[in-house]
Amino acid sequence: MRGFAGRQGWLLRALAVALAGAVCLIIAACGSPSTPQLNLPGGAYSNTTYGFKVTYPRNWQPNSYNATPSTDAAIPFNLIITRTGDAHSAASLISTCTITVLNMKNKDIAKSAASLATNKTLQPATLGGEPGYKSSPLVQDIPNSQISVTHIDYYVIHGDYEYQISTDSVKGDNADADLASMVASFSFGG
Q: What is the DSSP letter of 56?
A: E
* Predicted TM-score (pTM) of this structure: 0.77
CA 20 distance to own-chain centroid: 13
User: 149 falls in which pLDDT band (50, 70, 90)?
Assistant: very high
User: 65 falls in which pLDDT band (50, 70, 90)?
Assistant: confident
Separation CA 74–CA 81 (nearest Å): 21
DSSP-derived 3-state class of residue 5:
helix
Average pLDDT, stretch 60-86?
Answer: 80
Domains in the chain, CATH or no CATH each: 2-188 (3.40.1000.10)
The pLDDT tens digits of the residues spanning 95-115 come to: 999 999 999 999 999 999 999
Q: What is the reported pLDDT for 71?
A: 60
Helix crossing, 2-29 with 107-114: angle to 10°? 110
Percent of all residues in the chain with a pLDDT value above 90, rounded to a whole number: 58
Q: What is the DSSP letter of 146?
A: S
Indicate the pairing of strand 60-66 with strand 77-83. antiparallel
Average pLDDT, stretch 128-138?
Answer: 97
